[in-house]
Amino acid sequence: MKMSKLFVQTLREFPSDAEVISHKMLVRAGYIRKLTSGVYNYLPLMWRVLKKIENIVREEMDAAGAQELLMPFVQPKELWEESGRWEVYGKELMRLRDRHNREMCLGPTHEEIITSIARDGLKSYKQLPVNLYQIQSKFRDEVRPRFGLLRGREFIMKDAYSFDMTQEGLEKEYANMAQAYTKIFKRCGLNTKMVQSDSGAIGGSVSHEFMVITDTDAGENDVFYCDNCDYAANSNHAVSKLPGVNEGVKLTGDWKTAQIVDTPNTHSIEELCDFLKIPPTLIVKTLVYIIDKKPVLALIRGDKQVEETKLMNAFGGNDIRIATAGEIEEMMAVNGFEAEKGFIGPKGLKEYNGYEITVIADETVKEMKNFVIGINQKDKHGVGYNWYSEVELPETVTDIRLVEAGELCPQCGKPLKVTRGIEVGNIFQLGTKYSKPMNAVYLDQNGKTQPYIMGCYGIGISRTAAAAVEAHYDEHGIKWPLAIAPYHAIVIPVSTKDEEQMRVANDIYTTLKKHGAEVVIDDRDERAGVKFKDADLIGFPYQIIVGKSISEGNVEFKIRETDEKTAMKPEEAAEVVITAINNL
Ligand code: ATP
Ligand code: MG
């Protein structure tokens, strides 16, 4: 490919609306252009990268025994009603109507469609197990589409679905997919960690995410992990051992009797601690949440934070948010109190918005004695309170706590560490979550109908490309891993007017092409500086620069990953590239 013909417009500056590196780089280097919020054009360079990732995914999925198909992007409401998800899938599901007023949606994921395909086609145990996958665009009307390809509304995903007869069969396929994923990301030049995770809207019980570990802002997940053993989990799922952590922590207050004391203007735990001169571990903190429109109080020890996904799961909901100050005030009024944030407690709160108020306590409050708690009176708190005598311990006491670094590994007891991660893949054991409600069954050996035991396995193709940029860049541009680079190499004649330089550059270009390398020659009549800048920005893994030293028979060979430059003979330079691509 000639640079003069390559469809690419690099920009002088980073786009002003981009927050993260991959978004900035991919726009500036001419890979993507925004069409509308969260929706991007994949320009020719980008499309080459995406196809390479797709091909790696395809090769490894095929090698793992899965079969590719393609399902429609537009899906009918009826199937979503069968699974029960039409009602519960939130606003991310893009719903639309056709000319006959029939309701449809744009596929955010394809469990319903694949389950309908399976029940039509997989009727006998003799046909099982099966794993089917597709690579296709998905649409999710994300609340905050941001970060470019990392969190788009339209994005490309590989989604696979397995059908088994037994839980053991599913677990075997799950392990098979985990292994394929590890290979895929390694081939893409990415270091990933497989971490335990929450199952979210897809459902099921066991799930893992593949995270690209990054300390940039692009990592939307906190990952807790242990250096001593293999424990690693998303913060929405991570647990820790508390006993060791609690040594030396005061959990019992010194008040002789339960009483109500004045605590003016103590709206935060910190202010309350300062005022009463106590550690936060003596306070039972009450937070007010709205889960699927219903009021939920979360009780947790004053020094700990609530993990919202855990709380939502404990309640059994799909959508969680903290209540507003207005809602809290209203809730107080309805229940006959006058109090505001900072003074809320579970006692006496019965209903709100036509729903009974549910109280869920974290395990950390269970052992507390003579504690401090809100009593729904402004500028007052209860102190020296105890469970059962002054206030009921809620029926549901469970883990709703956000783990903190330094707490102890649930497996081996060593301190946990935390890092940020970008989720590039996700695997789930679904069980019969879709097959049962959709009546997707096969006949077993005894002629009895049985629902399939399902698994599902996703990889964000476009997110993986962006994550690769997050992991491989410097201030000059992208440093693509060779396996997913749009082109392997660029040949740069420093002066297009110099006949000798052009002759050698063209020779190298032809040799490389002949050996299967994907190569660009920068034939533009531009200053050398401009050409070097573009080559670095676009991120060609190898640059072969043909300049003055050709009079001594040498070219300059630059490796983008390290920015290392070496003088060598033109044929040697070509050889290095050819060897590298043959080793891919
Ligand atoms: P997230 O938690 O990041 O919203 P998810 O858990 O909802 O993702 P899955 O339903 O498991 O995502 O989808 C499988 C894969 O698709 C994810 O691992 C991710 O790589 C990719 N993906 C999901 N949402 C997006 C998005 N909005 N933009 C780009 N890729 C996405
Ligand atoms: Mg996920």
Residue 580 Cα to ligand 1 midpoint, Å, equals 32
Q: Is residue 448 located within the same domain as residue 340?
A: no
Maximal C-alpha separation, the chain: 97
- Which ligand minimizes its atom distance to the CA of 90? 1
243 pLDDT tier (thresholds 50, 70, 90): low
Residue 226 Cα to ligand 2 midpoint, Å, equals 21
Q: Please provide the distance, in angstroms rounded to a whole number, between the alpha carbons at the two ends of the chain.
A: 21
Is the distance from the beta carbon of residue 460 to the nearest atom of ligand 1 less than 6 Å? yes
Tokens matching residue 492? 């740069």
Percent of the chain with pLDDT over 70: 98
Listed range (90-94, 248-252, 311-315, 435-439) with the worst mean pLDDT:
248-252
Q: Domain count of the chain?
A: 3
Percent of the chain with pLDDT over 90: 92
Is the distance from the beta carbon of residue 140 to the nearest atom of ligand 1 less than 6 Å? yes
Q: What is the CATH number of the domain that holds 176?
A: 3.30.930.10
The residues facing 294 across adjacent strands are 291
Q: Is residue 229 located within the same domain as residue 330?
A: no
136 vs 317, more confident = 136
pLDDT of residue 145: 87
Q: Is the pLDDT assigned to residue 244 strictly greater than 70?
A: no
pLDDT of residue 203: 56
Q: Is residue 278 located within the same domain as residue 375?
A: yes
Q: Is residue 152 located within the same domain as residue 65?
A: yes
Nearest residue (by CA) to ligand 1, atom 16, is: 460
Could you tell me the CA-to-CA distances from 312 to 73, 296, 393 in Å, in that order?
Answer: 30, 9, 19
8-state DSSP, 274: H
Amino acid at 418: V
Residue 423 Cα to ligand 2 midpoint, Å, equals 7
- Cβ(577)–Cβ(531) below 8 Å: no
Is the distance from the beta carbon of residue 152 to the nearest atom of ligand 1 less than 6 Å? yes
User: How many Å apart are CA 568 and CA 164, to the nearest integer?
Assistant: 57
Question: Within 10 Å of residue 257's Cβ, how many Cβ atoms?
Answer: 7
- Ligand 1 atom with the smallest distance to the CA of 142 is 27
pLDDT of 447-500, one tens digit each?
A: 999 999 999 999 999 999 999 999 999 999 999 999 999 999 999 999 999 999
pLDDT of residue 90: 84
8-state DSSP, 246: H
- Ligand 1 atom with the smallest distance to the CA of 220 is 3
* Dihedrals phi, psi of 163, to nearest 5 degrees: -125, 120
Is the distance from the beta carbon of residue 148 to the nearest atom of ligand 1 less than 6 Å? no
Q: Is the pLDDT assigned to residue 200 strictly greater than 90?
A: no
Nearest residue (by CA) to ligand 1, atom 31, is: 460
Pairing between β-strand 417-431 and β-strand 206-213 as defined by DSSP bridges: antiparallel
Average pLDDT over the chain, rounded to whole?
95
Residue 59, domain member (yes or no): yes
Mutate to test the pocket of ligand 1, among 141, 423, 430, 433 (most ligand atoms within 8 A of CB): 423
- Cβ(400)–Cβ(310) below 8 Å: yes
User: How many Å apart are CA 522 and CA 507, to the nearest integer?
Assistant: 13
Q: Is residue 383 located within the same domain as residue 444?
A: no
Residue 396 Cα to ligand 1 midpoint, Å, equals 31
- Ligand 1 atom with the smallest distance to the CA of 197 is 6
Q: Is residue 71 located within the same domain as residue 195?
A: yes
pLDDT of 272-302, one tens digit each?
A: 999 999 999 999 999 999 999 999 999 999 9
Tokens matching residue 561? 């990953």
- Cβ(151)–Cβ(38) below 8 Å: yes
Q: Is the pLDDT assigned to residue 202 strictly greater than 80?
A: no
8-state DSSP, 227: S
Residue 534 Cα to ligand 2 midpoint, Å, equals 35
Residue 407, domain member (yes or no): no
- Cβ(464)–Cβ(422) below 8 Å: no
pLDDT of residue 248: 75
Q: What is the CATH number of the domain that holds 529?
A: 3.40.50.800
Residue 422, domain member (yes or no): yes
Question: Within 10 Å of residue 196's Cβ, how many Cβ atoms?
Answer: 18
Tokens matching residue 46? 């980008």
User: How many Å apart are CA 39 and CA 19, to the nearest integer?
Assistant: 16
Q: Is residue 210 located within the same domain as residue 151?
A: yes
| Torsion over CA: 381, 384, 390, 394 (sign) | positive
pLDDT of 76-122, one tens digit each?
A: 999 999 999 998 888 999 999 999 999 999 999 999 999 999 999 99
Q: 3-class DSSP state for residue 129?
A: coil
Residue 64, domain member (yes or no): yes
8-state DSSP, 417: E
Nearest residue (by CA) to ligand 1, atom 29, is: 151
- Cβ(270)–Cβ(330) below 8 Å: no
Domain coverage including residue 394: 245-398
Q: Is residue 443 located within the same domain as residue 326?
A: no
